[in-house]
Chains A and B, each alone.
Chain A
Amino acid sequence: MSTDLLQARDLTIRGEGVTIAPFSCSLGPGDRLTLLGETGSGKSLIAQAIMGTLPKGLCAQGRLVIDGEAFDAADSTSRRALWGRRLALLPQEPWHALDPTMRAVSQVAESHRHVAGRDRRAAFQAAWSDLTELGLAEAGSKLPGELSGGMAQRVAFAAASAGGAPIVIADEPTKGLDAPRRDAVVELLARTPEAAGALLTITHDIDVARRLGGEVVILRQGQVVERGPAQQVLTDPQSEYGQRLLAAEPSRWPLPKPLGERQAPVISASGLAKTRGGRELFRDLSLTIVPGEIVGVVGPSGCGKSTLGDMLLGVTRADNGEIDRAQGHTLGFQKLYQDPPAAFSPHWRLSRLLDDLVRRHRLDRAAIPPLMARLGLDENLLGRRPGEISGGELQRFAILRVLLLEPCFLFADEPTSRLDPITQRQTLELLVELARERHCGVMLVSHDPALIERICDKRISLEATPSVAKRELDPVMA
């Protein structure tokens, strides 16, 4: 084997209730390593331990060899001289990682100037040519607040790699990006190993890991569950957790029960149009949703998916068009939110919130325990506040809350995008099952086309193009 660029031997991290079991790896020129795991698996901590940026209270142990030089992982300051020059870190949320008061080009140029050691003029020239090459010529003189997530990610990439570091560590580089943007970032990352560098990527997204290739390590609660070539680990995992993780990919989900006989629609709309901020989101959009039907909405971010649902609920007004809601259901139109904790007041116990609802509408308390059991919610959870239970549990509690009102239409706005894949599958399966059973029409928004493809009876795809933006309802399921 050739000389390794990055080598870690028995890297352990301890402190404040966190333990990461000994982790070793070695990366030569052109190698790629991906750490895959859900939130709380400790995958980001490994990157921070290598960089020497662990949060206070955590300490690392073990040996590191970086570009031929040996380091003790416990001495967190020893790697600072390598930053930007031999070791580059792509930050988690590029939007927050750029200085909000400095123009994009200056943030790239300062790396060229102070890290790569060019003079002022040459640094700016290099920065402009970097940005132009990444398709950002227009964005150079903008402030980070004026950039989109994908643009900010590319600017951060240019700024981090200006020093020409051969080792790149990318920490959740695709967080919050939609599918096309995500693929673009993966391409960007692949440049490092192609130029004989080493790439260490941390992600929760199986698809990203698959596209990057190389070696994959699956982490769970600080333990390495499985490791091996991406090809093998991501098609035929040996560990039980690896299999569950893979089975949580939408394309492998079991098909939901088919929708039976189509009844009279719970909601129908025709000729809907909406313009926001001088940009037309859609025009002449028509749809109908019948009881028990799951209708998926896909499209890039900012295309008006949420706005469409809010219009159906009557939360937002349409510029044009008509909406017919089924009669006799004043409280029958409900919503599930993307970020479960944001949909609750964090200050009250769940029991109180449930109690408020029961009292407000004189509901039957007897209906609650069986439904809770069905949703896999333990009674003990009611004594806690929304921030004290997991996101998956809280989203199921949100489902419980709306189902108590016996809705006929539910708008689910990316209800599982903040959940890990296994919880996502479990939550959506329950949602579909209950919708069928209780004859509730669902409109499900997702940024993941594969997911929509799998569980929805119909699909509406909105496009980002300002003028045309409507595809009529093609049944995606045979």
Chain B
Amino acid sequence: MNTLAMTPARRWMLPALSGRQRLGAALLVLLLAFAWLVPWLSDADPARQQLTRILQLPSLAEPLGTDHLGRSLLARLASAVQLSFGMALLSVVSAAVPGLVLGVIAGWRGGWLDRVLGSLADACLALPGLLLVLLLVAIAPGNFWALYVGISLVLWIEYFRVVRARTRILVTTPQLEASRLLGFGPLYLFRRHLWPELAPQVLTLAAFGAASAILAMAALGFVSVGLRPPTAELGLMMIELLPYYHEAPWAMAQPIVVLFVLVLSLNLLAGRDPR
């Protein structure tokens, strides 16, 4: 039986991307390449001040100019993108994994476990997300981990709810019942039946979640309750450069453009309109 031997090696399904998602992925890759290549190719330090060369126009030595303390904007932007993206990735992973696992368990098992987990999620949703993050940040000001915990705590619920609702429907479908009757175990059922259905939704949520994590961090930086100077962070950079708008509009524009492209690429990658 030749055809049986010829099955593709793929064991886990990854969703196929649409044109708009590919555009988003390409933008994101470009931005990340920028963030990780800059420190590798140039030795500029995002924190080094040179008060003799403040607010300089872009030049050969400083391709993006300098800020009000003479720091290299190129180095600062690269560092800020690394920080934002790293935090977003970390909080998305630590929200998606428990969200997915608990969602599948709750949707599959049902009963009291489902009710307990459901109430837990509702409790986390009682406060608007940013408010919860703000309160946690107030406890530990300027702390990266407080931000991270707060954002993950808000994000996991989304995964949990979507996965639970979808799983609850899927476990009653004929396809799952058929495979169960054919003698397959839970791991197989998850891999062949649940995951292919859940993966596109989880990817969408992950991209939206990363975007909102980045926005939240920048927003807190912008209102001066997030990370503290001299950290290179996009929101912080905006508020620091705002007073110099007249002298150096290009400097002010840079963090806004970078944040815009970062969030836009993630929104495009998410693929669908929010629902």
A and B touch in the complex (CB under 8 A): yes
| Interfacial residues, chain A to chain B (CB-CB below 8 A) | 313, 315, 330-331, 333-335, 337-339, 342-349, 351-358, 360-361, 365, 368-369, 379-380, 382-383, 398, 401-402, 405
Binding-face segment, B60-68, B158-166, B188-196, B207-215: B188-196
Q: When chains A and B are docked, how far (Å) is the Cα of A345 from the Cα of B174? A: 10
Q: How far is the CA of A402 from the CA of B182 in the complex (A)?
A: 7
Check A334 against B181 for contact (C-beta < 8 Å). yes
Known: A334-B182, A345-B175, A382-B4. 14 other contacts (CB 8 A): A313-B181, A315-B177, A330-B183, A331-B181, A333-B181, A335-B178, A337-B178, A343-B174, A355-B7, A356-B192, A360-B184, A368-B1, A369-B1, A401-B182
CA distance A346 to B183 in the complex (A): 19
Candidates B6, B173, B182, B192; contact of A348 at CB < 8 Å? B192
How many pairs, one residue from A and one from B, have CB atoms within 8 Å of each other in the complex? 75
- Which residue of A is nearest B3, CB measured? A382
Is B116 engaged at the interface, CB distance under 8 Å to the other chain? Answer: no
A351 touches B3 (CB 8 A): yes
- Residues from chain A with a CB closer than 8 A to the CB of B173 are 342
Question: Could you say which residues of chain B place their CB within 8 Å of the CB of A369?
Answer: 1
CB pair A349 B7 closer than 8 Å:
yes
**CB–CB B196/A345 < 8 A:** yes
By beta carbon, the residue of chain B nearest A379 is: B3
Is A354 a contact of B182 with CB atoms below 8 Å?
Answer: no
| Prevailing SS type, chain B contact patch | helix
Q: Report the minimum CB–CB distance from B138 to chain A (whole Å).
A: 45
Q: Which of chain B's residues has its CB closest to A372's CB?
A: B1
Q: Which residues of A contact B182 (CB under 8 A)?
A: 331, 334, 357, 360, 401-402, 405
Complex contacts, B4 vs chain A, CB 8 Å? 351, 354-355, 358, 365, 368, 382
State in angstroms the CA–CA spacing of A379 and B192 once bound together. 22
Q: Which of A335, A347, A383, A398 sits near B3, CB closer than 8 Å? A: A383
Q: Which residues of A contact B179 (CB under 8 A)?
A: 345
Minimum CB distance partner of B177 in chain A:
A315
- Whole-angstrom CA separation of A8 from B3 in the bound complex: 51
| Given A337-B174, A356-B192, A357-B182; A347-B7 close (CB under 8 Å) | no
The 6 closest A-B pairs by CB, nearest first: A347-B196, A382-B3, A337-B174, A343-B178, A342-B174, A343-B174
Query: B108: shortest Cβ distance to chain A, in Å?
Result: 16
Cβ of A3 to closest chain B Cβ, rounded Å: 53
> What are 19 A-B pairs with beta-carbon distances under 8 A?
A335-B177, A342-B174, A343-B174, A343-B175, A347-B13, A349-B7, A349-B8, A351-B7, A355-B4, A355-B7, A356-B188, A356-B192, A358-B4, A365-B4, A379-B3, A380-B3, A382-B3, A402-B182, A405-B183
| Bound-state Cα–Cα, A339 to B173, Å | 11
Q: How far is the CA of A402 from the CA of B13 in the complex (A)?
A: 25
Q: 0/1 per residue, B12-43, Cβ < 8 Å to A?
A: 01000000000000000000000000000000
A357 CB contacts on chain B under 8 angstroms? 182
Task: List, in ascending order, chain B residues with CB within 8 A of A398's CB.
Answer: 178
- With both chains docked as a complex, state the minimum distance between the C-beta of A388 and any C-beta of chain B, in angstroms: 15
User: With contacts A347-B13, A349-B7, A356-B192 known, is A342 near B175, CB below 8 A?
Assistant: yes
How far, in Å, is A418 (CB) from chain B's closest CB? Answer: 12
CA distance A315 to B172 in the complex (A): 11
For residue B178, give the distance in angstroms from its CB to the closest CB of chain A: 5
Nearest CB of chain B from residue A373's CB, rounded to whole Å: 12
For A361, the chain B residues whose CB sits under 8 A away are 183
- Give B206-249 interface residues, CB cut-off 8 Å to A: none
With CB as the reference atom, state the residue of chain B lying closest to A407.
B181
- B2's nearest neighbour on chain A, judged by CB, is A379
CB neighbours (8 Å) of A365 from chain B are: 1, 4
Chain A residues near B7 (CB, 8 Å)? 349, 351-352, 355
A170 to B146, alpha carbons, bound, how many Å?
Answer: 64
Q: How far is the CA of A405 from the CA of B8 in the complex (A)?
A: 24
A357–B4 alpha-carbon span in the complex (Å) = 12
**Shortest distance in angstroms between B1's beta carbon and chain A's nearest beta carbon?**
6
Chain B residues near A344 (CB, 8 Å)?
Answer: 175, 178
Give the shortest distance, in Å, between B165 (CB) and chain A (any CB): 19
Chain A residues whose CB sits within 8 angstroms of the CB of B174 once the complex forms: 337-339, 342-343
- Set of chain A residues within 8 Å of B181, measured between Cβ atoms: 313, 315, 331, 333-335
What's the minimum C-beta distance from B244 to chain A, rounded to whole angstroms? 54
| Residues of chain B within 8 A of A402, CB atoms compared | 182
1/0 contact string of B44-70 vs chain A (CB within 8 Å): 000000000000000000000000000
Complex alpha-carbon distance, A346 and B7, angstroms: 16
Question: Roughly how many angstroms separate A145 CA and B207 CA in the complex, as a whole number?
Answer: 36
Nearest CB in chain A: distance from B9 CB, A: 11
A353 — which chain B residues lie within 8 A by C-beta?
192
A258 to B178 Cα, complex, angstroms: 30
Expressed in whole angstroms, the Cα–Cα distance for A137 and B4 within the complex equals 60
Q: A382 contacts which chain B residues (CB < 8 A)? A: 3-4
- Which of B173, B178, B179, B193: most chain A Cβ within 10 A? B178
